[in-house]
A and B are shown apart, each in its own frame.
Chain A
Amino acid sequence: MTATAIRNHTRENFDFTGAHEAAGESNGRAAALPKLSLIVPVFNLAEETVALYHELRAGFEAHGESFEVIFIDDASTDATWLHLNKIAKEDARVKLIRMRTSFGETSALDAGLRHAKGERIVYATARVRVNMSALPQLLRKMDEGHDLVVGWRTPRQDSGLNRLVSHGFNWLVERFGKLPLHDINSSVFVAHREVLENIILYGNLNIFIPILAARKGYRVTEEPIAQKPGAFRQSKYLSEYIQRLLDIITVIYLTKYSKKPLHFLGFFGMIFTVAGLAMNGYLFTYRILGYGGIAGRPLLLLGALLLVIGLQMISIGLIGEMIIYTHARDQKEYNIETVIGA
């Protein structure tokens, strides 16, 4: 959509697919494509919205490359949207997207990407409260020949529990994903547009973008970025921690077996099946040879249960393979850097 885009500030409901977009003041000038697209999800920031904008503006105007800012308001219930509209009115580089209802940051990133025109994407969610004016230093790191640079929040201002969970999470990612980064899930990164367009986003996968990018063969690295003083944050819900725990399984699965479910499930399935068979085989022999009754042996039911669970895991693995065989035909297993003699 061009600068002469529909402006509709009174309209509260903006379509998630981005059919409606509030652009800045149009002066009728055909703006050249910006070099950078800043994608910033915001949620219930109230007055801080303005401060956030000024921080971004100060940082990137000093950096020098032309840029656009795409704020995605994830259906804030406070004055955030009004503040954003005021900002957009005064600055043509600011574009706004408002979700109909809260869809989360992955959808925000996706919606932002659809409207981004820059060659490089700067993504930073307002939630993590990093020093936005320091973001250009990630771009300078990228110039050294990287495709994606993750912002490493250091020193961390979050609560001890948050830091512990994050630490454990990153340790596992490093082990399984072989990606030696300190802060994969920081939700702050810069990348070439191509990198993000090559990654399928769903669920809460946005926190795994560095892993997914590395798996696609892009060069991924990190650069420290300061968190604002007083950015102390503690998750309000226990469910957030449980989700993070489940995310760890996602990481292992994504990095190793996403295209080969049976290699993953078959391994555990086989162990269970063999263990179950061994237990019941032993009891059967024991009984047949007349060493005594097996009624008092819980091993019998355990063995049977393991056998059943093992076979079920293998079955689910096989169903996974069938899904990939029949439904993922167009998904490429590789990522090409160059072709000579095309």
Chain B
Amino acid sequence: MASSDDKIFCSIVVPMMNEEESVTPMHEAITKVMAEWGVRYELIIVDDGSSDRTFEILSTLAQNDACLRVVKFRRNFGQSAAMAAGFEHARGEYIVTLDGDLQNDPEDIPRVVAKLQEGYDVVSGWRKDRKDKFLIRKVPSKIANRLIRKTTRVSLHDTGCSLKAYRAEVVQKIRLYGEMHRFIPGLARIEGARIGELVVKHHERKFGKSKYNLSRTFRVIMDLMTLNLLLKYLTRPLHFFGGLTVLFNGLGFTTLAALFYGWNQQYLGEDELNVLVALAFLLFAAGINFLLYGLIANSVVSTGQKRDERLYEFKSYDRNSN
């Protein structure tokens, strides 16, 4: 299946933080699966500022395994940064990401890559039979997924699954920042990627404890707002902010018109009119402000990312080779 001998077919990226118990079994499992599959691969483990023996174990493992590469951060920079670093160091044609806690099954790696080859740019795992606590993990995840589906219009059942496969050229286009690793399919979608999903196995957590908590909900909502704006209005932000202008100025106009035509006389007292006029002017001022934001956003976008940097397919067949 490997295209040529010297090129790496598949890069596996695993972010890890304080996973000293999982390192060795994880490495063994992946090595076994990849040996059976028989493609040229590399395993990139990003040590996201572990304070335990994770890096020590990794460096010992790396001495005897030419396929293992370890990237060590100076401190904990978060999962998005770890993934971004992994992507940057990946040299394979395809990139697969896994969680560092053994909850994903490495045996699914060949399957997601095969799915990718069917013509997708991103394939996300779907933990249909999820082995996590119902109330604190499954329920919030269900709600979040529904919200993400609605805002990003990427119809995935399980965006939170770490097992994902990407074409390298797609992933290198994605701008992964902040805590956006949760929405990589959405980010890929901004660049025009085709996205698929595949049911994968999910195991219970054997070692360590889960690093997620409910208090991240607010940041997730904020990130979703950003993603929504980027997805729909990145090339035309004035349409977004202009919408607010129309809303506020519309309200202002309605108020003034109502007062002018005397629709209010049977409902409102004399002094209430004065207050409403002040309110109408406030709404006008606000509306104009939003218009100005839209204009600034337009300049921001037009001086930034070029549209031709987005994904498109360009094929040129070499007549001699075919």
Known contacts A263-B219, A266-B225; is A322 also within 8 Å of B282 by CB?
no
Given contacts A295-B271, A327-B300, contact A340 B279 (CB under 8 A): no
The reply to whether the CB of A103 lies closer than 8 angstroms to some CB of chain B is no
Among A303-339, those with CB < 8 Å from B are: 304-305, 308, 311-312, 314-319, 321-329, 332-339
Contact A315 B62 (CB under 8 A): no
Q: Does B201 contact A (CB under 8 A)?
A: no
Q: What is the bound-complex CA distance between A336 and B70, given in angstroms? A: 11
* A338 and B46 alpha carbons, distance in the complex (Å): 10
Partner of A294, one of B219, B241, B275, B305: B275
Residue B1 CB within 8 A of the other chain: no
Q: For B58, what are the chain A residues with a Cβ–Cβ distance below 8 Å?
A: 340
| Interfacial chain A residues near B75, Cβ < 8 Å | 216-217, 335
- B209 at the A interface (CB under 8 A): no
Q: Does any Cβ of B come within 8 Å of A228's Cβ?
A: no
Per-residue interface assignment for chain B, residues 226 to 237, with 1 indicating a CB less than 8 Å from any chain A CB and 0 otherwise: 100110001001
From 34 to 90 in chain B, residues with beta carbon under 8 angstroms from any chain A beta carbon are 49, 58-59, 62, 66, 68-75, 77-78, 80-82, 84-85, 89
Question: Given the complex, which residues of A lie within 8 Å of B296, measured CB to CB?
Answer: 319
Q: In the bound complex, do residue A217 and residue B49 qualify as a contact, i.e. CB atoms below 8 Å apart?
A: yes
* Chain A residues bordering chain B, tally (CB within 8 A): 46
**Among B69, B73, B177, B279, contact of A300 (Cβ-Cβ < 8 Å):** B279
CB distance from B64 to the nearest CB of A (A): 11
Q: When chains A and B are docked, how far (Å) is the Cα of A232 from the Cα of B194? A: 66
Is B290 interfacial (CB 8 A cutoff)?
yes
B262 within 8 Å of A by Cβ? Answer: no
Assess whether B31 is interfacial by the CB under 8 Å rule.
Answer: no
| A interface, CB within 8 angstroms of B | 216-218, 259-260, 262-263, 266-267, 293-296, 300-301, 304-305, 308, 311-312, 314-319, 321-329, 332-342
Top 5 closest pairs, chain A to chain B, by CB: A217-B74, A326-B304, A217-B75, A341-B69, A295-B271
A-B contact pairs, 14 of them (CB 8 A): A217-B73, A218-B74, A259-B177, A293-B271, A300-B279, A304-B283, A315-B244, A321-B230, A326-B301, A327-B304, A334-B81, A340-B62, A340-B72, A342-B69
